[in-house]
Amino acid sequence: MNLPFNIDLQDKVVVITGAGGVICSTFAKALAACGAKVAVLDLNKSSADLVAQEITEAGGQAVGVEANVLEVASLKAARQLVRDQLGPCDMLINGAGGNHPKGTTSKEYLYREDLEDAKEGEVTFFDLDPKGVEFVFNLNFLGTLLPTQVFLKDMIGKKDAVVLNISSMNAFTPLTKIPAYSGAKAAVSNFTQWLAVHLSKVDVRVNAIAPGFFVTNQNRGLLFHADGSATERSAKILNATPMGRFGECEELIGTLLWLVDHKASGFVNGIVVPVDGGFSAYSGV
């Protein structure tokens, strides 16, 4: 992997949730290339193992760990495995998250005819499934809070301890159709600020990255048709992104390395950094 710059993470143990996915697997490989011992946590054990294998084959040190970020018992078991195989956690990256169709409306706007002439299968605001909304909120918010509760106990009192959360541009400006995901990521950003203050006396820094639009396994079907052509939603995203393209996962690495390196960002605490091609700066005019 070609890094934009290198930092020294030799012997640091980094735990990454959701690390079987596109973005966080890139994070795992980048940090391993800087000398970190990486615990690749994912609900899908085979995905975690594949990423860990790629790291070890490249000369790094990593272990794949099955973990459900919504189950404390699963996280505690993962913590013990990490401690046994790599050592106590020095840095935690909370990357697990996602959306669910039951927390999503069919249309961007509500019209009177949607209520007067409801179509089968169409989801309006009034049809949002509370359980679906709850699942999305829990996955993103509790899926950040619970791993932090479990792994933070190994980090307090250590030099250069860092918690890095993954927020979203939805936290700044909610996208249409996905109220549950937008609200959940706003909660992650707020929690990042709260936790940074709360942990400031025990020398643990807490920050977040808010990616703009990157193509992942979760959103590929929303952005592209089966033939590879862009969807209408994809076109809207690119029109609202001044740089006119989707980001590449490697373009998040510089921000990642800056935020986890105490020498580079030792006084940076409680911020959410957009990496979005200008999306958050564009008014649409």
Residues noted as catalytic: 181
Q: Is the dihedral of CA 268, 32, 155, 146 positive or negative?
A: positive
Distance, in Å, from the CA atom of 194 to the CA atom of 262, rounded to the nearest integer, reads 20
Distance, in Å, from the CA atom of 239 to the CA atom of 234, rounded to the nearest integer, reads 9
What separation in angstroms does the CA of 177 have from each of 74, 112, 226? 32, 17, 21
3-class DSSP assignment, residue 278: coil
DSSP assigned state of 140: I
Longest dimension (CA), the chain: 63
3-class DSSP assignment, residue 149: helix
Beta carbons within 8 Å of 24's beta carbon, 6+ residues apart: 16, 17, 18, 93, 95, 166
